[in-house]
Structure 1
Amino acid sequence: MDRAELSGFLRDRRARLTPADVGLEPGGRRQTPGLRREEVALLAGISVDYYVRLEQGRGPHPSEQVLRALARALRLSEDEREYLLRLARAQGSPEPVRTVPENVLRLLERLDVPAMVLDARYEMVAWNRMLVALIGDPAEMPPRRRNRLRWLFDPDNPGANGELARQCVADLRASGRYPGDPGVLALVDELLAGRPAFAAMWAEREIEVRRTLTKRTVHPVAGELELDCEILAVPGGEHRVLLYTARPGSQRALRLLSTVDSY
């Protein structure tokens, strides 16, 4: 169990709520924002002492029933609730499977839209011809650019402080099914130490699994493109497939990509 992160997460989410958010009376002056510990314990149906120990990073391992009660008390989203449950199970997390399944590689070959596969560390580990036509050949990119998080927070990248970067940080926390993975931990430590924008976003503890996003770009051959990116988890592994499909008005431009070898 990741006691330190569990403790910080509970404190953070408690501070975001007001008594009015959960149907309680304000109850006089408050020295700090958010709910009191006593109020969270009341809403979750547990003792105040038990909850205090959880926030202090000590005490017994909470049961799933207790964690779900806390999720309801703190008005957590579905992604936040799953993250809370995963924190308590962190010690027993499985090791990630690094090899991209053969059926996923065959799928990439057959797709007529740009697609790539990312691992838990946001490394591009597989892609198809249409993606090469869209962004260039990842095999010829510097290794650091093939890691989408490193690239997003590169000082030379104008989007380093943008909404996409914020979404990816929230997704990294939320979808981190392998919290003990040395590669993921090393990447987070590297970005915390060297990228202030990443460190600021990481400290906000936003939790949201990215399932779709929108990409806008200008291609040297196809012209302006507005693409929807669907993010699909590969069952039984750490990988996710990203599929780019054209939004209304970009279908013809996307079809032009099929005539482009690379750029």
Structure 2
Amino acid sequence: MNRRELADFLRNRRERLAPADIGLPVGPRRRTPGLRREEVAQLAYISTEYYTRLEQARAPHPSREVLAQLARALRLSDTERDHLHHLAGTPPGPRPGPSREVRQSIVDLLDRLPVSAALVMSATYEIIAWNALAAALMEDFSVLGRRDRNLVRRAFLGPYQDGGRLYGVSDAEEFSRTAVHHLRATAARYPEDPEVRSLVAELLDGSEEFARLWADHEVTARPTLCKTFEHPAVGPVAVNCDILDITDRDQRVVIYTAAPGSPSEEALRLLSVIGTQRMDVPG
């Protein structure tokens, strides 16, 4: 256990975390940057005295449970979490479940793409952030619960919009195969996560197609470079599909763009105006 390095690391990360990041008011009397020691201790469910001793390099060896609680309290990335464990002389165990927390900079990036439909997926294919155009092109995710925002569940178990499969995409079968390959790799990375295990069990029980693809034990997926959405209001929308990995959180940013000057670009511009309204539904 490297007490001095551990103390410096904890203090550094505490001072980087703003009160607003955890829903606390800034207040007029804060004399130090970031959070107070007692706030971190409260978030980590440990005593302020013990946390203070950790930052003073005087505390005994923290347990694996305490380290996990500190990592959550300080909003550490997976890489930072592993570093924390190594400083404490405790090799990190299996990573906790897939992260659902999206960095604010990524959320801001989605909003700065007005003519691109963009979203963030967790390692289990749950849509955890999106911009307005993605909602207009696919579905208003803000009115859905977590279950219905999971695309692999939607692909195999429904419900399907207008009788079509998964937003009428042209690559529905390829998407399903790719999703199974990714989910199998996710299950290997998070073998003890109850949500991952529950999702896989539900899909195996509810879809013969998923069970057949799962039995293939494939983990290599081919990227889809383009696809067409069949939109009920504006018709077919052909888009390029680019995926950016957020490796420290095991998330992916998916960006759909249309060729400049194409009818699909005009369709996306129209969708950016009408939003999630259903123009095909009689008023």
* TM-score, length of structure 2 as denominator length: 0.54
CA distance in 2, matches of 1:155, 1:126: 21
1:205 is paired with a residue of what secondary structure? coil
Please give the alpha-carbon distance, in whole angstroms, between the structure 2 residues aligned to 1:115 and 1:141. Answer: 17
1:146 paired with 2:160, answer: no
Identify the residue that residue 131 of structure 1 maps to in structure 2: 134
Counterpart amino acid of residue 181 in structure 2: A
Counterpart in the other structure of 1:115: 118
Whether 2:94 is the aligned partner of 1:93: answer yes
Change (3 A) 1:213 1:185: farther
2:176 aligns with: 165
Deviation at residue 175 of structure 1 after TM alignment: 5.1
Kindly tell me the number of residue pairs found equivalent between the two proteins: 173
SS of 2:123's partner is: coil
Q: Between the two proteins, what is the percent identity of the paired residues?
A: 40
The residue correspondences of 1:42-81 to structure 2 (distance < 5 A) are none
Change (3 A) 1:174 1:210: farther
User: How far apart are residue 236 of structure 1 and its match?
Assistant: 0.7
Q: Which amino acid aligns with 2:248?
A: G
CA distance in 2 between partners of 1:126 and 1:165 (Å): 21
Partner of 1:232: 244
Cα distance change on mapping 1:155 and 1:255 into 2, 3 Å: closer
> Residues of 1 paired with 2:235 and 2:174: CA distance?
23
1:104 is displaced (CA, Å) by 0.9
Query: Residue 107 of structure 2 corresponds to which residue in structure 1?
Result: 105
Amino acid at match of 2:121: L
- Local SS of the residue matching 1:231: strand
Question: 1-side partners of 2:127 and 2:120: how far apart?
Answer: 6
Which residue of 254, 266, 272 corresponds with 1:252?
Answer: 266
SS in 2 for 1:236: helix
Q: Distance in 1 between matches of 2:146 and 2:155?
A: 13
In the TM superposition, residue 180 of structure 1 has moved relative to its aligned partner by 3.1
With over 3 angstroms needed to count, the CA separation of the structure-2 counterparts of 1:164 and 1:98, relative to structure 1, is closer
Are 1:119 and 1:240, in contact at CA under 8 Å, matched by a contact in 2?
A: yes
Matched, 1:200 2:203: no
The superposition leaves residues 33-62 of structure 1 with CA deviations (integer Å, 9 ceiling, x where unpaired) of xxxxxxxxxxxxxxxxxxxxxxxxxxxxxx
Instruction: Find the aligned partners of 1:155 and 1:137 in 2 and give their Cα distance.
Output: 16
Deviation digits for residues 52-93 of structure 1 (CA, Å, limit 9, x no counterpart):
xxxxxxxxxxxxxxxxxxxxxxxxxxxxxxxxxxxxxxx943
What code does the residue aligned with 1:261 have? Answer: G
Q: CA deviation at 1:230?
A: 1.5
Q: Which amino acid aligns with 1:251?
A: E
| TM-fit CA distance, 1:119 | 1.0
Classify the secondary structure of the residue corresponding to 1:162: helix
For residues 143-165 of structure 1, give each alpha carbon's deviation from its aligned partner in whole angstroms, at most 9, with x where no partner exists.
Answer: 43211011000265454882221
Which amino acid is 1:172 matched to? L
Change in CA separation of 1:210 and 1:93 when aligned onto 2, cut-off 3 Å: farther
User: Which residues of structure 2 form unaligned runs of 5+?
Assistant: 1-91, 167-171, 278-283
Quick check: 2:157–2:203 contact (8 Å CA) kept in 1?
Answer: no
Paired residues of 1:171 and 1:210 also in contact (CA < 8 A): no
1:100 alignment partner, SS class: coil
What is the deviation of 1:124?
1.1
Measure how far apart 1:246 and its partner are.
1.3
Q: Which residue of 1 aligns with 2:276?
A: 262
Q: What's the C-alpha RMSD, in Å, of the aligned pairs?
A: 2.5
Unaligned segments of structure 1, at least 5 residues:
1-90
Q: Which amino acid aligns with 2:175?
A: L
Q: Which amino acid aligns with 1:223?
A: G
